């Protein structure tokens, strides 16, 4: 008789485990939709391949076009050679500060899905921020700022590679 080591207990107190959905479920689509509606976040592992992930994405929504996406519609983020251009920091191994994907567009995507193909040897953490909670706190703590950000024709400025970039939006930056 061979002695086996029992599996390590899963720490269900981590955000990843608290929001886990099993992708092998036969009722995955309605379960995933329910989890996203109720908790705004769903995590999963064991997606077998890029095509399997692309199929899962297409079951939930239309794949959003991205200038760097491949023929399957997925955008592979990995460190590239050379200096990154404006808005290309995601294609480096540098830290990314919290941001909204594709916020330069009038209608940014409402659903963001990430698949990790190869875990990082160091770093690699993803910081997720509850936008609704931030908006609620901002509206309560700083009503004037909230008013300005939720007004039409809002402009904001940030720096990319040390150069200021200004965005003018016809739609509000945030929607109450």
Which tens digits make up the pLDDT trace of 96-131? Answer: 777 777 766 777 777 888 887 777 777 777 888 888
Length of the chain measured in residues: 176
Report the range out of 100-109, 129-138, 166-175 with the highest average pLDDT: 129-138
Give the DSSP H/E element, type plus range, for residue 61: none
Q: Return the half-sphere exposure (C-beta side, CA atoms, 13 A cut-off) of residue 131.
A: 13
Domain match, 115 and 136 both: no
pLDDT of residue 80: 78
Task: Locate the DSSP E strands across 81-148.
Answer: none
Task: Examine residue 149 and state whether it is found in any structural domain, yes or no.
Answer: yes
Domain match, 108 and 174 both: no
pLDDT exceeds 90 at position 141: yes
Domain match, 66 and 139 both: no
What does the alpha-carbon distance between residue 145 and residue 139 come to, in Å, rounded to a whole number?
8
Task: Examine residue 85 and state whether it is found in any structural domain, yes or no.
Answer: no
pLDDT exceeds 80 at position 161: no
pLDDT exceeds 50 at position 7: no
Domain match, 175 and 107 both: no
Task: Examine residue 84 and state whether it is found in any structural domain, yes or no.
Answer: no
pLDDT exceeds 60 at position 2: no
Domain match, 30 and 49 both: yes
Whole domain around residue 167: which residue ranges?
130-176
Q: Determine if the pTM surpasses 0.85.
A: no
Task: Examine residue 3 and state whether it is found in any structural domain, yes or no.
Answer: no
Tokens 């901002």 sit at which residue? 138
Domain match, 44 and 12 both: yes
Closest CA to 172 of 87, 103, 102, 101: 103
pLDDT of residue 162: 52
Work out the pLDDT band at 137, boundaries 50, 70, 90: very high
Write out pLDDT tens, residues 41-57. Answer: 888 877 777 788 888 88
């Amino acid at each position: 008789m061979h002695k086996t080591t029992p599996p390590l207990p899963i720490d269900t107190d981590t955000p990843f485990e608290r929001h886990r959905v099993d992708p092998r479920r036969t009722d995955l689509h309605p379960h995933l939709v329910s989890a996203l509606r109720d908790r705004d976040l769903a995590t999963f592992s064991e997606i077998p391949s890029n095509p399997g992930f692309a199929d899962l994405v297409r079951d939930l929504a239309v794949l959003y076009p991205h200038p760097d996406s491949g023929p399957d519609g997925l955008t592979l983020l990995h460190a590239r050679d050379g200096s990154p251009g404006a808005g290309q920091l995601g294609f480096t191994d540098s830290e990314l500060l919290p941001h909204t994907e594709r916020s330069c567009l009038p209608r940014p995507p409402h659903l963001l899905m990430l698949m990790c193909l190869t875990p990082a040897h160091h770093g690699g953490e993803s910081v997720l921020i509850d936008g609704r909670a931030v908006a609620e706190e901002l509206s309560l703590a700083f009503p004037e700022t909230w008013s300005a950000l939720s007004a039409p024709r809002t402009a904001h400025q940030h720096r990319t590679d040390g150069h200021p970039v200004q965005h003018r939006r016809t739609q509000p930056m945030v929607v109450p």
